[in-house]
Chains A and B, each alone.
Chain A
Amino acid sequence: MNKKLKMLSLPILSMALFSCADTNEVYPGDAYISGNFLLNRYNHWDEGLKEAKTVGSFELKNDKASTARYFNGSGVHGSYRDVYGFEQAKSWHPESFRNSKGGDLKWAPDIVDGGVGEWREQSALYDVAYGQTKKMTRINSKFGRGYLSKLYNGQLRCNAWSSYSLVELDKSGYGTIFPAELEKAPYFAMSVRGGSDTPGGYPRLTSFDINVTFYKVGSDNVSYEGTTFTMKEVFLQTNYSAEYTSLVGFYFDEIGGDYNPAGVVGMSVTFSMTKDFAGGEEKTLPTSDNFDEEAGNYTGLMLLEVLFPDSTWN
């Protein structure tokens, strides 16, 4: 009897001690939300991604006439005041931005807001808001857990949530393995803006070269193989308004080559700032996109959402 009891209690005890699925990824309460811009940087790379072999690369331009193109926000990038929303993508592919009744999905409101950092049921905005209709957690609930669930919850804008709403990146970027494997996706998109610790704000236009790499499991079933998509000269507003985010991304059949996203298990984002004050503003400050080097001020990429709209996952 005693032996049986021990045999029974062992698996239960081991489950209790070693499973802890809800505490696998925990953070100190003040992680990434401090008042210090540099401390809020997220640059975690999941194991194996930095060592991945590059098997392909594509360079994309923000030009409708180009065969390898990406979309960016309103499509008007003359001033920081013009850079927001999803009008360019919508004008190129209106069918992707319609709801089930044929009406237009909205850029805002993007969330049912219960106050900063308060969770609310968002289903009221399904088929109304673009973010809530296309978000990853709606496609696969496994995306709902972990720090990066910020990028999968349909919140496209800040909504005065400040650091609670976004993932702050410097040029070292981040890399993550998805909780599922991509089967099919027409396009990739992300909601981004620039962000900087420049005193007094200095609203401006900043241009970035953004590299998005998708990883598949290599032929050895152990390592990863990455294909990089470089979006050249992405114009984003910096420090004008946290609500001015832009939908940036590309369709997989508009990249100027063949790429099948089936089998993607992870992605990474890195970038380099090509020009701060890119709108020809007179004010100039020496800012750096490398938060590890000594610099007067820093500018980074504020990532609010990552989307594979209308995708299917295994």
Chain B
Amino acid sequence: MEENKNISTTVDKTERVVGFLALEFLALICFGFGGENGLTFLRVIGVCLALFLYPYAKNQFVKEGGVRKDLIALIPAGLTFLSFGFSRFWLSFYSASWFTGIIMCLLVSAGLAAACLLGYSVKGMKGLKRDYVFLAIGCGLALLVLISGLYSLVRYGVFYVKRFSKMVYYFDGVVFPVSKEAKILDGFLFREASLDFAKAPAVMLSCFGVGCLGCNPKKDKRFYAMLSFGILGFLDLILTPFKAGILLALFVYAYAGIMFGLRYLSNKGEKAEHRVKTGLRIAFFVLMAFVALGLIILVTDTFLGESASFLRKSSFIARKGSDNQYTYTRLGRLIETIEEIISATFFTTKAGVRSFNFVGFLFGSQATYIYNSSFAEFNFIYQNGMVGFSLLLVALFYGIYKAHHYFYESEDEDHLKFIVTGLMLAMFLYWSFLCDEAPLRHPQNMDEFFSNHQSLLLSFTRSNWALLGAFFFGYVYSPKKVAAKPVETKKEEEIHE
């Protein structure tokens, strides 16, 4: 009896230590601790943690009634992590040292898998309250936003994007628009980066406020923690001001509001619930259809080439001037960039003759030229090819499907559901529309150990955000529709017994 108690105490202690390390890992990932080298180090830590957490994940999987079929369904997600790390592009990128390259690619893939496993297994840890997980994420982001936001204010002043909208400053004899940049903490150095890149943490932090919809301010003090995170995020966005980020955050709030309303409707009876679920299912398939259709149109138009392109003749995209030349609209310029990316991946041109590049089509470009569209998914096509892209799409839609089930079936508290799905949506939208993979303005001291960059390319696949995305994927994943009751509730029940 005494022996069993000792074993149980030791297990509890181990769990607490692993849980604490997991929280540290998450907070440091969100803070972007130690820059690029720090992130590599954190990936290693993540992999070690995942090894410790594997038994918890296994228990949780069994507890949730997971079977072999569910594991098979996870294969595309696993392959997606693999394709994030390895591709022709990335192997060429590290071609100076194959050994280092393979290790780096392996670490990226393993880091993502570890973060995903971490997300799944934290649900099964008795000693780790789920609120702490999101507190760790929030604190990591808040500290980063506070430090870089304050430094930006000190260097540029308040509302600088508006006040200096058409102004430039000179650095090293070159002109830089003031309104298109902000300061970021890169390792232990401040650098100038594009607004789109620099303000991502603030947008994510501002979305923490959606958790307030699931909390009663009079009864629950956690309401104020979420509100504080949200306010800090919004303050940073407003004092800049970063219009695109504010709009995106408001969109996430609108989503949360709609989901809140739909839940209210669902509670009105089985019929209403059925209608809501059917509606959401239809919306999901319509979204899938739109994505598929959009892709088919873009790829076909690229295949046709510039002369036969039907998109370029559309008035939405290009307008014919009096000189018979087409000038692109804003949307047109975006589409032109995407088509350039697809073309550079799928085709090779030799002596003016364009030919289909089958290997490039499957596994991405071999050139290490940077295509920097504002859509992470299309940059991914160039860097990882259609195999990786197809896997990414499958993982994305599978993630949406699992997030939907998490929202409706999990027994997590409401505020957590809003935060998790809100942040997932914010991340998806942000990197689908505001992605910037060459954000550094005039980087100096690139060889500083903790702010080291091998190139100006800061790809999403190698970022801390990809790790956070993998964590969320793991968190919302459940092999069955109805998730198990939260462990802490069970613990309470056990105590009562």
* A interface residue numbers (CB < 8 A to B): 12, 15-17, 19-23, 25-29, 31, 117-119, 121, 137, 141, 144-153, 155, 164-165
Contact B157 A119 (CB under 8 A): no
Q: Closest approach, in angstroms, between the C-beta of B141 and any C-beta of chain A?
A: 20
Q: Closest approach, in angstroms, between the C-beta of A242 and any C-beta of chain B?
A: 15
- Give CA–CA (A21, B442) in the complex, Å: 17
Contact B155 A26 (CB under 8 A): no
- Give CA–CA (A194, B173) in the complex, Å: 20
- CB within 8 Å of A: which B134-180 residues: 150, 153-158, 160, 163-164, 166-178
Contact B171 A164 (CB under 8 A): no
Q: Closest approach, in angstroms, between the C-beta of B176 and any C-beta of chain A?
A: 8
- Give CA–CA (A137, B172) in the complex, Å: 8
Q: Does B257 contact A (CB under 8 A)?
A: no
Q: Closest approach, in angstroms, between the C-beta of B191 and any C-beta of chain A?
A: 12
A-B contact pairs, 16 of them (CB 8 A): A16-B150, A17-B158, A20-B160, A25-B170, A27-B170, A29-B166, A29-B167, A31-B168, A137-B172, A147-B170, A149-B170, A149-B171, A150-B170, A151-B173, A153-B172, A155-B173
Known: A12-B150, A118-B174, A149-B173. A22 touches B168 (CB 8 A): no
Contacts of B178 in A (CB 8 A): 22-23, 26
Contact A144 B169 (CB under 8 A): no
- Give CA–CA (A22, B190) in the complex, Å: 13
Contacts of B174 in A (CB 8 A): 117-119, 153, 164
Contact B154 A26 (CB under 8 A): no
Q: Is the interface of B mostly helix, strand, loop or mixed?
A: mixed
Q: Does B446 contact A (CB under 8 A)?
A: yes
Most buried by B among A20, A28, A137, A144: A20
- CB within 8 Å of A: which B12-34 residues: none
Contacts of A23 in B (CB 8 A): 155-157, 160, 163-164, 167, 169, 178
- Give CA–CA (A209, B115) in the complex, Å: 69
Interface residues on B, range: 20 to 34
Known: A17-B157, A29-B177, A117-B174. A22 touches B442 (CB 8 A): no
Contact B169 A15 (CB under 8 A): no
Contacts of B405 in A (CB 8 A): none
Q: Which of B154, B175, B442 contacts A164 (CB 8 A)?
A: B175
Contact B154 A146 (CB under 8 A): no
Contacts of B166 in A (CB 8 A): 28-29
Contact A119 B170 (CB under 8 A): no
Q: Which of B150, B153, B170, B446 contacts A145 (CB 8 A)?
A: B170
Known: A28-B166, A150-B170. A22 touches B177 (CB 8 A): no
Contact A27 B167 (CB under 8 A): yes
10 nearest A-B pairs in the assembled complex, by CB-CB distance: A153-B173, A16-B153, A20-B157, A150-B173, A26-B167, A119-B174, A22-B155, A153-B172, A19-B154, A119-B442
- CB within 8 Å of A: which B430-455 residues: 441-444, 446
- Give CA–CA (A17, B443) in the complex, Å: 26
Most buried by B among A20, A22, A27, A153: A22
Q: Closest approach, in angstroms, between the C-beta of A42 and any C-beta of chain B?
A: 12
Q: Which of A19, A25, A144 contacts B172 (CB 8 A)?
A: A144
- Give CA–CA (A29, B175) in the complex, Å: 8
Q: Closest approach, in angstroms, between the C-beta of B297 and any C-beta of chain A?
A: 32
Contacts of A137 in B (CB 8 A): 172
Contacts of B441 in A (CB 8 A): 119
Known: A20-B155, A20-B156, A119-B442. A145 touches B171 (CB 8 A): yes
